[in-house]
Amino acid sequence: MQKNYLNIVMVEPEIPQNTGNVARLCACVGAKLFLCGRLGFSMSNKYLKRSGLDYWDKVEIEHIISFDELTKNFPQNENNYYFFTTKAKKLYTDIKYQRGDFLVFGPETRGLSDDILKKYEKNLVTIPMRKETRSLNLSNSIAIGAYEAVRQFGHLGE
């Protein structure tokens, strides 16, 4: 199985505009987008389509039934998974990203489940922010993580 350049995983995304923005980002950097679990919108949603602009034919998107199904299809012993959460201490910049890594992000209103956070606690990373703030916008967080990996790779995916 050929490794993708970079894999972005959105677990149960809720807001179509965020997903459209992320699809556009993936097209721009050459990443594959995985949408895991129940979506909070239809893939024909006009806001989703509008926020992705005319990049839909330039991005590979795969909808997977669940996060567990994703990890069965792409076992951790072959690929690295990094889970972005406000509940981590390790910074996303402390990671040495490799081609084929999976950057995993939870739903906008609740983040990744406690089950995922406990199971993968060694792979949790965070983006620093001021203590009096709760979280960044999901599509902004994904862009930050993706571009750190791209910066470390030294090139964009083709």
* 66 marked as binding residue: no
Q: Quote the CA–CA distance of 34 and 9 in Å, as a whole number.
A: 5
By residue count, the chain amounts to: 158
Tokens (6 digits) for 84: 């972005």
Q: Quote the CA–CA distance of 71 and 68 in Å, as a whole number.
A: 5
Residue pair 37/12 in contact by the 8 Å Cβ criterion: yes
* 127 marked as binding residue: yes
Strands 124-125 and 60-64: unpaired
Residue pair 145/136 in contact by the 8 Å Cβ criterion: no
Residue 65 neighbours by CB distance under 10 Å: 10
Binding site members? 106, 127, 135
Binding site members for S-adenosyl-L-methionine? 106, 127, 135
